[in-house]
Chain A
Amino acid sequence: MIMGNAKNPDSRREQIYNEVIRILSSDLEVPADEIERDMDLNTELPFDSLQLYEFVIDLEEAYSIKLPDEMLDQMKTIDDIVNLIMRLTEGK
């Protein structure tokens, strides 16, 4: 499990962001430097439903969190996902 436990919130956010990009890049087979934090998950990234869930399951396993569909519906950008992981792993 990845703790994302740097004390400074900015460095913790950066750590999580880098890991999210690494997982996303591997699941989508897209170079990491082509992914930007404000990209729209639904329109700007080449996801099909299966890849989306591969990404979600990898995040759940990496951070030992649960990301049910009701939560995913609120996520629009990569930054939203980073913020959600920050919140769910707070104090872990």
Chain B
Amino acid sequence: MKSEEEIMSEALVRIFENVVLTEEKSLQAGYFSDLSIAEMHTLTAIGPYESRTMTKTAEDLGITTGTLTVAIDRLVKKGYVIRQRDTNDKRVVRISLTRNGKLACRMNSKFHRVLAKHILSGYNEEDRKHLLALVNEVDVYVAQQLRRYDGAVNVRKTAMEVAKDSKKENE
């Protein structure tokens, strides 16, 4: 029989992979088949409203501005993103979505909302509240683990610290 830890860890990995795969397949079958998942996530990080700076967007995506520049070049060519110099500070580059970019971004948000709606619809109000509270706890915990690696030059050292902490929790 599988342990609770095995069931939980396998389910977490499977959920993550299946959400990404479903998202990818729905993209390929839909109106925005020329976009990859990573590109769609870049559009979502820019958002459908105010323009954003390259620096802040790269920070939110957890990538360097150099990597974002390459991605934005492609998205500009495909007609999803507009790149402009800031009117007040010419050193700052601002990015925003074209009409097509906004459409892609909103269709993708809808995909996630519909998925969430279907999952929640199987529960009564009390269970929904309970489920959301548990999911939120998992979310906060995983985000905390991720933050430990922020700015960590020595990833192996941080990983060892995380492993030590897990060992302590199990004792």
Co-assembled chains A and B: yes
Residues of A within 8 A of B (CB): 49-50, 53-54, 56-57, 66, 69
Instruction: Please determine whether B103 and A57 come into contact, CB atoms closer than 8 angstroms.
Output: yes
Determine how close the nearest CB of chain A comes to the CB of B5; give it in whole angstroms: 37
Instruction: Please determine whether B107 and A53 come into contact, CB atoms closer than 8 angstroms.
Output: yes
Residues of B within 8 A of A (CB): 31, 48-49, 99, 102-103, 106-107, 109-110, 113
Q: Could you say which of B31, B49, B106, B113 contacts A56, with CB atoms under 8 Å apart?
A: B106
Inter-chain CB contacts under 8 Å: number: 22
Q: Could you say which of A57, A66, A69 contacts B113, with CB atoms under 8 Å apart?
A: A69
Instruction: Please determine whether B103 and A53 come into contact, CB atoms closer than 8 angstroms.
Output: yes
The interface residues of chain A, by DSSP majority, are classed as helix
Instruction: Please determine whether B49 and A49 come into contact, CB atoms closer than 8 angstroms.
Output: no
**A57 and B48 alpha carbons, distance in the complex (Å):** 9
Instruction: Please determine whether B109 and A69 come into contact, CB atoms closer than 8 angstroms.
Output: yes
Neighbouring B residues of A56 by C-beta, 8 Å: 106
Instruction: Please determine whether A69 and B102 come into contact, CB atoms closer than 8 angstroms.
Output: no
Instruction: Please determine whether A50 and B49 come into contact, CB atoms closer than 8 angstroms.
Output: no
Neighbouring A residues of B107 by C-beta, 8 Å: 49-50, 53
Determine how close the nearest CB of chain A comes to the CB of B1; give it in whole angstroms: 42
Determine how close the nearest CB of chain B comes to the CB of A68; give it in whole angstroms: 9
Instruction: Please determine whether B31 and A50 come into contact, CB atoms closer than 8 angstroms.
Output: yes
Which of B31, B99, B103, B106 counts the most A-chain CB atoms under 10 A from its CB?
B106
Neighbouring A residues of B48 by C-beta, 8 Å: 57
Neighbouring A residues of B99 by C-beta, 8 Å: 57
Instruction: Please determine whether B106 and A57 come into contact, CB atoms closer than 8 angstroms.
Output: yes
Using A57-B48, A69-B106 as known contacts, list a sample of 16 further A-B pairs with CB atoms less than 8 Å apart, ordered by residue number in A.
A49-B107, A49-B110, A50-B31, A50-B103, A50-B107, A53-B102, A53-B106, A53-B107, A53-B110, A54-B103, A56-B106, A57-B99, A57-B102, A57-B106, A69-B109, A69-B113
**A56 and B103 alpha carbons, distance in the complex (Å):** 10
Determine how close the nearest CB of chain A comes to the CB of B117; give it in whole angstroms: 10
**A57 and B109 alpha carbons, distance in the complex (Å):** 14
Determine how close the nearest CB of chain B comes to the CB of A41; give it in whole angstroms: 15
